[in-house]
Amino acid sequence: MDQSAKILVVDDSIAIVNSLVAILGVSGFEVDTAFNASEALRKIHSNQYDVIVSDIEMPGLSGLDFLSRVRSEFGRELDVILMTGYLEHDYFIEAIRLGASDFIRKPIDTKLMIRSIRELVQRKRGRNDLGDFYSNLDQANFSFIMAPCHFSKYALSKIFSTYLRQSFGVAPKALNELLVCVDEMVYNAFIHGTLGLSVEERALDHSKLQAVIEEKLKNPKIRGRRIKLNFTVDNTQRYIEICVEDEGQGFDFNFWLAQAKSESIADIEGHGRGIALLYHLCESLEFSNGGRTVRIRKHLDSDRRYDG
């Protein structure tokens, strides 16, 4: 299992780096090295690594700064083990928040480090197997039902971003456009359908708007409404279909659809601009159920646009 796993060791101590190269090499790992965080970042951009083992205290860019950059640029796809001579509470909490995969104290317990690396490699391969499973499905369908009081806790586009990219190989441009559409559809279902905010309420500054939303959510009728999200990925025809349904009053979608087809996005005001975005970014856009249900379809590889 270990021979195909590639490890990047990052430490400003030549002695520690050489020691770890020897130990990990004997254990069957392929090992690369960097003597500071900046050099490590350059190598990560041009090489594929399974696990990074990094000192937490280095001159220049620290291990925590390095971890933050890795998470910012590569998400959770790279596992990072931090090495440290001490592990104070604040460091520990900050490293956990930044997404450290594990911690190894100095002086290093080599058996513990090797076991940690092997577990992380095995976990990563399990994630890759799951991605292979999804990418080889003809079709996958997922449904979610969301309570409005929990809506603001989750960044749905970020949740779906990693999932669609890793599991279904969605092209970056198509993925970015899809995430814009998901945000727009669910936000509209929440603001217009679930809460029924007026034009004046939507124009309030952030703090006042939040106060209005919190007050509305105290209403049992509003709290009882649900937002339903369904998406279907078809790997044979390479498209994704997303459907969002709310339990609000609906609206005159025909008026806004006609406006989206006849005017540019920049000229449209209000929530009609959101509909125009969906119209121009997707191959198809459909409303039903009095405007309470909206459905889009987008090809995962092409730049085709819906022409009505």
What confidence score (pLDDT) does residue 302 get? 53
Percent of the chain clearing pLDDT 90 (strictly above): 35
pLDDT-derived band at 60 (thresholds 50, 70, 90) equals: confident
Provide the token pair at 62.
């620290």
Domains in the chain and their CATH numbers?
A: 2-134 (3.40.50.2300), 139-299 (3.30.565.10)
Give the model confidence (pLDDT) of 248-287 as tens digits. Answer: 999 988 988 888 888 766 555 655 778 888 888 889 999 9
Own/partner long-range contacts of 300-308 (Cβ < 8 Å, ≥24 apart) = 300/168, 300/169, 300/170, 300/171, 300/174, 300/233, 300/238, 300/239, 300/240, 301/171, 301/174, 301/238, 302/174, 302/238, 303/173, 305/280, 305/281, 306/279, 306/280, 306/282, 308/261
Q: How far is CA 12 from the centre of its chain?
A: 32
* pTM beyond 0.95: no
Within 10 Å of residue 305's Cβ, how many Cβ atoms? Answer: 12
Give residue 119's pLDDT: 87
Please say if the pLDDT value at position 182 is more than 50. yes
Kindly indicate the confidence band of residue 129, based on its pLDDT and cuts at 50, 70 and 90: low
Q: Is pLDDT above 70 for 197?
A: yes
Measure the CA–CA gap between 237 and 232, rounded to whole angstroms.
12
- Give the residue-averaged pLDDT of 135-162: 77
Q: Give the pLDDT score at 305.
A: 43
The structure tokens listed for 93 are 């909490």
CA distance 297 to 113: 47
Rounded (10°) CA dihedral 82, 87, 89, 92:
10
pLDDT at 99 > cutoff 90: no
Which pLDDT does position 170 carry in this prediction?
Answer: 73
Cα pseudo-dihedral 275, 277, 279, 283, rounded to 10: -140
Band of residue 131 on the pLDDT scale cut at 50, 70, 90: low
Read off the amino acid at residue 165: R
Mean pLDDT of the chain: 83
| List of residues 6+ apart from 2 with CB closer than 8 A | 27, 28, 29, 118, 121
DSSP state of 191: I
Q: DSSP string spanning 124-147?
A: HHHHHHHHHHHHT-SEEEEEEEE-
pLDDT digits (tens, 9 = 90+) for 31-59: 999 999 999 999 998 888 999 999 988 88
pLDDT for 132 beyond 90: no
Per-state percent for the chain, helix, strand, coil, to nearest 5? 50, 20, 30
**Per-residue model confidence as pLDDT tens digits over 160-180:** 776 676 667 677 677 778 888
* Per-residue model confidence (pLDDT) at position 269: 60
Structure token pair of residue 15:
């002695």
Residues 6+ apart with CB under 8 A from 188: 244, 271, 274, 294
- DSSP 3-state of 50: coil
β-pair partners for 145: 228
**Residue 104, number of CB atoms within 10 A of its CB:** 20
CA 168 to chain centre: 14
Band the pLDDT of 127: cuts 50, 70, 90: low
Give me the pLDDT at residue 6, please. Answer: 92
pLDDT value for 20: 95
Alpha-carbon distance of 209 to 212, in angstroms, equals: 5
Q: How many H helices and E strands in the chain?
A: 12, 10
- The alpha helices in 170-305, defined as continuous H runs, are 172-188, 199-202, 206-216, 220-223, 253-262, 272-281
d(CA 22, CA 1): 18
Residue 308 confidence (pLDDT): 39
